[in-house]
Copies of this chain bind each other. A is one copy, B any other.
Amino acid sequence: MAKDEAKELLSQVSDWELVEEEGKLAIRKRFKFGTYLDGVEFINRVAKIAEEEGHHPDIYLGWRRVTVNLMTHAIGGLSQNDFILAAKIDNLQRERERNRVK
């Protein structure tokens, strides 16, 4: 997918940024958590969806933060699958926030 198309799809997901790594396009989002283990729990939920989709993001876990990096390695760039998974991860985050408010 070309950069222009990626930029358009980017507006349909929440707070993902377009990045370029070694000339390859990817999208990335940072998430913040109250504790380290909340971040780990989030990774488990992302991994479950990733497994269902057959599409596996790179994930970086730090102190109370998680960064998810999406790219379609087979094509060395972005595909529609990346944006679908991004939207599902956004949903996870919304669910978390809804549960916290209750």
- A residues within 8 Å of B by Cβ? 36-37, 40, 43-44, 47, 50-51, 56, 58-63, 73
Q: When A36-B50, A51-B36 are in contact, do A58 and B61 touch as well, CB less than 8 Å?
A: yes
The answer to whether B43 touches A56, judged by C-beta atoms less than 8 angstroms apart, is no
The answer to whether B40 touches A36, judged by C-beta atoms less than 8 angstroms apart, is no
Q: Please give me the residue from chain B that is nearest to A69 by CB atom.
A: B62
CB distance from A75 to the nearest CB of B (A): 15
The answer to whether A58 touches B62, judged by C-beta atoms less than 8 angstroms apart, is yes
What are 10 pairs between A and B in contact, CB < 8 Å?
A36-B47, A37-B47, A40-B43, A40-B47, A44-B44, A58-B63, A59-B60, A60-B61, A61-B61, A63-B73
